[in-house]
C-alpha cells in the first residue's frame, strides 16, 4: 500500500478554500500513485471551529463541502476530518471516501475537554470500532485523542486484526510537543503491534499553532517517516518498502520557538487579510525581537518600525531603535512624544494639582505610544504587533491600551529570559547582527521615568521566570514553592502580582502559544478572585 499523509494548513470557516486545498493535495497524491491519502482532523472546517459548530448552517455547508470532495475520489481512498451530524448528535468524524462517494464516517471516541480543548461542548463521543479494507490492508481509523489514551479504540482495532492504524490530528504545538507525540505513537504501535500513520495539521489559528510533524511508524514502533514541522507537506510512504520514507530532522527548543512564532504571526496576518504590520520599537530587546521575527515572517518590506522617544529615552535606546531597523532593512520613523505628553499634562493639570507624579504619568506615555501606533494602523491598514513578553504579562508589568495595544501580541508566551536567548540565536543564525548587541547587553528598562530599571519593580528576570514557570505552568502552591527552595518573599510578591493582573490579560491581544499554560483558554482564571496562594 502506498500511503500519503497530507499535512495541510486549513483556515477556520473557509470551507471553499479548505476544499480547494484538499483537492490539490488529493490530486498530488494521485500523481504519486497513492492508494490512500489522509488529511488532518476537521480539515474541512479548520480546527478549532469553536461555536461555528453550533450553527446548523455551518455544519450543513461542511457536509456539502465533503460531498464535493468525495466526488473527486476516483482511483484512491481518502480519509478527511469533518463534523458529522447524525440525528440530533454532532460528531467529530473522519470521513472515508472512495469511488466518488462518502463510504463511512468514523466518530471520535475520546473528546478532550481540558487545556485549550472544549470538545464536549460540541460533540457526542462515538462508540463503535470497525476496520476498513483499503488496498488489501485492514485499516483502523482514529481521530487525535483516540490514540493518546491507552485501551480502546486502539486495542479493539488491533484485536480485530488491524494492519494499519490511521490517526487524523489537529494536535496543538507547545515546545518539544513533537517528541512527546512521537514517543506516544511509537508506544501505541509497539504495544498494539500495528503500524501507525499520524496526519497532523499545520498552521496558526489565533493563539494555537499546529506543528505538523506527521509520522509513519512500523508495527515494531520504529519510525519509518516524519514530515517536517511548521510547513505544509505531502508525506508519501510505500508501506511495503519502509526505506521509501523520508525522515525530516528534529529541531531543538529554540529553533521550534522561532518557527512557531514566525508561523503563528504569518498565519494570523495572512488569514485575517492584513498585508503589513507596524511595531513600536523602543530600543529595548522585546520590540527588537518582535520586529526581527516579523521580518522573518513577512519580509522587511511589510514591516514598519516606529520609535517614539520621550524625555526619558536615552540616546542609547534611540540609536538602537534606528540601528535595529537598519539591520532589518525596514521602514523606520521617529515620532517624539514630548509635545503630546505636554498637551495631556496641560489638560490634566487641574485634576492632578498637588499630586506627585506616579504610575499615572508613566502609563500616560505608554498610552500615547499605543495611540500613535493605532493611528498609523488605522490610517494605513497595518496590523499593530504588540511587543510584551510573558514575564511582563504574568505580573502585569505592562500598560493596558499602551504597550499592550495591538492585534497580535507575538511574545506573550515568551519568558524574558527566552527573549534574550532567542535574540542571540537569531543573530547567530543570521551570521550577523539583527538585534543590536547593545540592546542585548543593556539592563531592561521601561524608560517611563528617569533612571528606571525593571529590577526596581520586579525580581531579577531569571529568578522571576523560574517562579512563573513553577506557579503558572505547574500550578505549584505558595507552600510548595517555598518548600522547593524559592525565596518566599519573591514568591508571594510574584503570586500576588500574577493574580491581580488577570484583568489586564483578559484585554490583551492573542499571541502564539508556546507552553501548556499560555494565559489563554488554557488558563481560565476569574478576574474577581480573592484566592492568593
- In the region spanning residues 244 to 273, those forming contacts with a copy of itself, defined by CB under 8 A, are 267-268, 271-272
Cα torsion 73, 155, 199, 11: sign: positive
The reply to whether 83 sits near a copy of itself by the rule CB under 8 A is no
Interaction of residue 379 with a copy of itself, rule CB under 8 A: yes
Beta strands in 155-222 (DSSP E): 164-169, 195-200, 202-205, 208-211, 215-217
Q: Can residue 527 be called a binding residue for a copy of itself (CB under 8 A)?
A: yes
Tell me the number of residues near a copy of itself by CB under 8 A: 86
**Selected binder of a copy of itself within 275, 299, 339, 462 (CB under 8 A):** 339
Minimum CB–partner distance for residue 61 and a copy of itself (Å): 8
Considering beta carbons, is residue 74 or 530 the nearer one to a copy of itself?
530
Scanning residues 53 to 72, which ones bind a copy of itself (CB under 8 A)? 54-58, 61
Instruction: Note whether 81 binds a copy of itself by CB under 8 A.
Output: no
Q: How far is the CB of 337 from a copy of itself (least distance, A)?
A: 7
Q: Which stretch binds a copy of itself (CB under 8 A): 11-19, 97-105, 244-252, 287-295?
A: 11-19
Q: Which long-range contacts (CB under 8 A, 24 or more apart) does 398-403 make?
A: 398/504, 399/362, 399/363, 399/366, 399/367, 399/370, 400/504, 400/507, 401/367, 401/370, 402/363, 402/365, 402/366, 402/367, 402/369, 402/370, 403/280, 403/366, 403/369, 403/370
Minimum CB distance to a copy of itself smaller for 153 or for 406: 406
483 binds a copy of itself (CB under 8 A): no
b (16+ CB within 10 A) / e for 357-394: eeeebbbbbbbbbbebbbebbeeeebbbbbbbbbbbbb
Nearest to 434 by CA among 300, 323, 274, 297: 323
Binding mask 389-418 for a copy of itself (x = CB under 8 A): -----------xx---x-x-----------
Residue from 287, 211, 200 nearest 255 by CA: 211
Answer for which of 368, 434, 435, 512 binds a copy of itself (CB under 8 A) is: 368
Instruction: Mark the segment that binds a copy of itself (CB under 8 A) among 194-202, 289-297, 419-427, 474-482.
Output: 474-482
Rounded CA-CA distance 2/240 in Å is 8
Q: Which of 1, 44, 96, 364 binds a copy of itself (CB under 8 A)?
A: 364
Distance, CA of 101 to CA of 87 (rounded, Å)? 20
Taking CB under 8 A as the criterion, which residues in 136-195 touch a copy of itself?
A: none
Nearer to a copy of itself (CB atom), residue 99 or residue 479: 479
Q: Measured from the CB atom, is 245 or 520 closer to a copy of itself?
A: 520
Cis peptide before 48 (omega within 30 of 0): yes
Does 353 participate in binding a copy of itself (rule CB under 8 A)? no
Which residues are catalytic, by number? 41, 108, 144
By CB under 8 A, tell whether 351 contacts a copy of itself. yes
Least distance to a copy of itself from the beta carbon of 67, Å? 18
Residues 506-525 that bind a copy of itself (CB under 8 A): 506-510, 523-525
Rounded Cα distance, 126 and 111, in Å: 9
Q: How far is the CB of 312 from a copy of itself (least distance, A)?
A: 17
CA distances from 193 to 110, 145, 154, 165 (A): 21, 19, 10, 10
- Cβ–Cβ under 8 Å, residues 223 and 247: yes
Which residue, chain included where needed, has cell 484512491? 76
Interaction between residue 370 and a copy of itself (CB under 8 A): yes
User: Taking the CA of residue 33 as centre, how many other CA atoms within 13 Å lie in the half-sphere pointing to its CB?
Assistant: 4
| Residues 489, 503: Cα–Cα separation, whole Å | 24
20, 160, 355, 430: which one binds a copy of itself (CB under 8 A)? 355
Q: Which residue, among 171, 125, 119, 173, has the nearest Cα to 148 in the 3D structure?
A: 171
How far apart CA 447 and CA 322 sit, in angstroms, is 17
Q: How many Å apart are CA 22 and CA 335, to the nearest integer?
A: 47
Q: Residue 163 or residue 499: which is nearer to a copy of itself going by CB?
A: 499
Q: Environment class of residue 419 by beta-carbon count within 10 Å: exposed (0-12), middle (13-18) or buried (19+)?
A: buried
Among 7, 65, 200, 205, binds a copy of itself (CB under 8 A): 205
Q: Which one, 12 or 149, has the nearer CB to a copy of itself?
A: 12
Neighbouring C-beta atoms of residue 12, cutoff 10 Å: 17
| Residue selected from 376, 440, 490, 496 as contacting a copy of itself according to rule CB under 8 A | 376
Residue numbers 275-314 binding a copy of itself by CB under 8 A: none
All three cell numbers of 412, joined, read 506573550
Cα 152 to Cα 167: distance, rounded to the nearest angstrom: 14
> From residue 17 to residue 56, what is the string marking binding to a copy of itself with x (rule CB under 8 A)?
x------------------------------xxxxx-xxx
Nearest to 499, CA basis, from 532, 521, 468:
532
For a copy of itself, the closer CB: 73 or 394: 394
Q: Quick one: 342 or 437, whose CB is closer to a copy of itself?
A: 342
Site residues for a copy of itself, 414-473, by CB under 8 A, read none
The piece of 88-96, 98-106, 311-319, 502-510 that touches a copy of itself (CB under 8 A) is 502-510
* DSSP state for residue 136 in the 8-state scheme: T
Q: In the complex with a copy of itself, which residue's Cβ is closer, 59 or 236? A: 59
Q: Which is nearer to a copy of itself, 28 or 118 (CB)?
A: 118
Minimum distance from CB of 443 to a copy of itself (Å)?
25
Q: Which of 11, 149, 231, 497: binder of a copy of itself (CB under 8 A)?
A: 11
Q: Reduced to 3 DSSP states, what percent helix, strand and coil does the chain have, rounded to the nearest 5?
A: 40, 20, 40
SS3 of 2, please?
strand
In sequence order, which residues have a C-beta less than 8 Å from that of residue 314 and are 6 or more positions away? 283, 447
Residue from 33, 121, 130, 311 in contact with a copy of itself (CB under 8 A): 121
Amino acid at each position: 500500500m502506498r500511503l500519503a499523509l497530507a499535512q495541510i494548513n486549513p483556515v477556520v470557516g473557509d470551507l471553499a478554500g479548505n476544499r480547494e486545498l484538499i483537492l490539490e493535495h488529493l490530486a498530488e497524491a494521485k500523481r504519486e500513485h497513492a492508494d490512500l491519502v489522509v488529511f488532518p482532523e476537521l480539515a474541512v472546517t479548520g480546527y478549532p471551529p469553536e461555536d461555528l459548530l453550533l450553527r446548523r448552517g455551518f455544519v450543513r455547508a461542511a457536509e456539502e463541502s465533503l460531498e464535493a470532495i468525495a466526488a473527486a475520489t476516483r482511483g484512491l481512498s481518502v480519509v478527511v476530518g469533518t463534523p458529522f451530524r447524525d440525528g440530533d448528535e454532532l460528531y467529530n468524524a473522519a470521513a472515508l471516501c472512495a469511488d466518488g462517494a462518502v463510504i463511512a464516517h468514523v466518530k471520535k471516541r475520546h473528546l478532550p475537554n481540558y487545556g485549550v480543548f472544549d470538545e464536549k461542548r460540541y460533540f457526542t463521543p462515538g462508540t463503535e470500532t470497525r476496520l476498513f479494507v483499503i488496498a488489501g490492508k485492514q485499516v483502523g481509523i482514529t481521530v487525535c485523542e483516540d490514540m493518546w489514551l491507552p485501551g480502546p479504540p486502539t486495542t479493539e482495532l488491533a484485536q480485530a486484526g488491524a494492519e494499519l492504524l490511521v490517526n487524523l490530528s489537529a494536535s496543538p504545538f507547545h515546545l518539544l510537543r513533537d517528541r512527546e507525540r512521537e514517543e506516544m505513537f511509537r508506544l501505541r504501535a509497539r504495544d498494539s503491534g500495528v503500524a501507525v500513520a499520524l496526519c497532523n495539521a499545520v498552521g496558526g489559528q489565533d493563539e494555537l499553532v499546529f506543528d505538523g510533524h506527521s509520522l509513519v511508524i512500523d508495527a515494531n514502533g520504529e519510525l519509518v517517516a516524519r514530515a517536517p514541522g511548521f510547513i505544509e507537506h505531502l508525506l508519501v510512504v510505500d508501506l511495503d518498502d519502509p526505506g521509501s520514507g523520508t525522515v525530516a530532522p528534529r529541531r531543538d527548543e529554540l529553533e521550534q520557538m522561532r518557527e512557531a512564532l514566525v508561523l503563528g504571526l504569518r498565519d494570523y496576518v495572512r488569514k485575517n487579510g492584513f498585508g503589513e504590520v507596524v511595531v513600536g520599537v523602543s530600543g529595548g530587546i522585546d520590540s527588537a525581537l518582535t520586529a526581527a521575527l516579523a521580518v522573518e515572517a513577512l519580509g522587511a518590506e511589510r514591516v514598519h518600525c516606529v520609535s517614539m522617544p520621550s524625555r526619558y529615552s536615552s540616546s542609547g535606546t534611540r540609536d538602537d531603535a534606528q540601528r535595529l531597523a537598519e539591520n532589518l532593512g525596514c521602514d523606520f520613523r521617529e515620532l517624539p512624544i514630548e509635545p503630546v505628553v505636554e498637551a495631556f499634562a496641560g489638560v490634566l493639570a487641574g485634576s492632578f494639582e498637588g499630586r506627585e507624579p506616579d504610575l499615572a504619568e508613566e502609563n500616560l506615555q505608554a498610552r500615547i505610544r499605543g495611540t500613535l501606533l493605532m493611528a498609523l494602523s488605522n490610517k494605513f491598514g497595518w496590523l499593530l504587533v504588540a511587543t510584551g513578553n510573558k514575564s511582563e504579562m504574568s505580573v502585569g508589568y505592562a500598560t493596558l491600551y499602551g504597550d499592550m495595544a495591538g492585534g497580535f501580541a507575538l511574545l506573550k508566551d515568551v519568558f524574558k529570559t527566552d527573549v534574550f536567548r532567542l535574540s542571540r540565536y537569531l543573530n547567530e543564525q543570521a551570521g550577523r547582527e539583527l538585534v543590536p548587541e547593545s540592546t542585548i547587553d543593556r539592563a531592561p528598562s521601561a524608560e517611563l521615568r528617569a533612571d528606571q530599571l525593571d529590577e526596581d519593580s520586579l525580581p531579577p528576570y531569571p529568578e522571576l521566570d523560574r517562579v512563573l514557570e513553577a506557579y503558572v505552568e505547574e500550578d505549584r502552591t505558595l507552600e510548595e514553592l517555598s518548600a522547593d527552595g524559592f525565596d518566599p518573599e519573591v514568591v508571594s510578591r510574584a503570586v500576588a502580582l500574577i493574580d491581580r493582573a488577570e484583568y489586564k490579560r483578559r484585554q490583551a491581544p492573542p499571541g502564539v502559544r508556546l507552553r501548556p499554560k499560555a494565559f489563554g483558554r488554557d488558563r481560565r482564571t476569574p478576574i474577581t478572585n480573592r484566592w492568593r496562594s
